[in-house]
């Protein structure tokens, strides 16, 4: 096998949560273009059809399943749907999540708990559901954030805490599952990527953060997909329990 062959995800079955828009939709398209079949989970079932169409346009099979990852039963149902359709789950891209900026003194218990429930608890329930059916050689990639390791000029206590939790969760699941079950577990901590989310940021905020982007630009979602493909493929076969920061340099400034 050549070095380039190690990066292949052809014919793998990849479950992607939060796949209705943004980075989730980009992951789905990128994995399909790399030759994988894709199981798509998100709460907005109507928007999953658009993502499914991009997967099918790349010549691969798509299975959209309406899923709220805060509900463990729905996470199990997503994994079971993948098994029924494809007979296996090779990769989980644990992407479902949300961000919010609220001053800490104004944060309500309901809002804080809701964000942690989605970003952290949802990542665990989905990983648990997939790990129950995954075979040795499978991979889980949790999508954390640079807000789990640094700050970015906004009051985001709930979001930062939830994403730091995802990084800790990644280490522990890797410890539990890599040796015993043969499932590698890693995380990616993205910085600013050009998506619908960053389109909503005030222009003055983006300008304030620009000096920290030593790469001189925001990231392209395809660059993040390439990192996820590496961690999901045999090329990343000796990598587990790690958080790969992909942020154009923000975390070192």
Which one, of 141, 149, 192, lies nearest residue 27 by Cα?
A: 141
Helix (H, G, I), strand (E, B) or coil at 94: strand
Give the total residue count for the chain.
Answer: 253
- Verify whether residue 159 is a known catalytic residue: yes
Are the beta carbons of 34 and 10 closer than 8 angstroms? yes
First-last CA distance in the chain: 39
Helix (H, G, I), strand (E, B) or coil at 103: coil
105: which DSSP letter?
Answer: G
- CA atoms of 125 and 128, how far apart (whole Å): 5
Residue with tokens 């499932």: 183
121: which DSSP letter?
Answer: I
Residue with tokens 């096998």: 1
Which one, of 33, 124, 6, lies nearest residue 76 by Cα?
A: 124
Say which of 86, 112, 159, 192 is annotated catalytic: 159
Sign of CA dihedral 120, 70, 191, 30: positive
Q: Looking at the annotation, which residues are catalytic?
A: 159
């Amino acid at each position: 096998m050549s070095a380039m062959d190690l990066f292949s995800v052809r014919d793998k079955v990849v479950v992607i949560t939060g796949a209705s828009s943004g980075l989730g939709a980009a992951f789905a398209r990128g994995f399909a273009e790399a030759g994988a079949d894709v199981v798509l989970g998100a709460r907005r079932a109507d928007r999953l059809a658009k993502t499914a169409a991009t997967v099918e346009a790349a010549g691969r099979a798509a299975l959209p399943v309406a899923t709220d990852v805060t509900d463990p039963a729905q996470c199990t149902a997503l994994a079971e749907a993948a098994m029924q359709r494809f007979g296996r789950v090779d990769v989980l891209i644990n992407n479902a999540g949300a961000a919010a900026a609220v001053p800490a003194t104004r944060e309500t218990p309901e809002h804080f708990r809701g964000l942690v429930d989605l970003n952290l608890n949802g990542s665990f329930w989905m990983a648990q559901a997939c790990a129950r059916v995954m075979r040795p050689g499978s991979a889980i990639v949790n999508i954390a954030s640079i807000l789990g390791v640094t700050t970015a000029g906004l009051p985001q206590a709930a979001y930062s805490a939830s994403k730091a939790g995802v990084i800790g969760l990644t280490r522990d699941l890797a410890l539990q599952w890599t040796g015993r079950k043969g499932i590698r577990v890693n995380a990616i901590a993205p910085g600013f990527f050009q998506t619908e989310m960053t389109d909503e940021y005030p222009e003055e905020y983006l300008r304030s953060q620009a000096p920290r982007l030593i790469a001189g630009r925001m990231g392209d979602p395809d660059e993040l997909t390439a990192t996820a493909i590496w961690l999901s493929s045999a090329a990343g076969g000796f990598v587990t329990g790690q958080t790969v920061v992909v942020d154009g340099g923000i975390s070192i400034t």
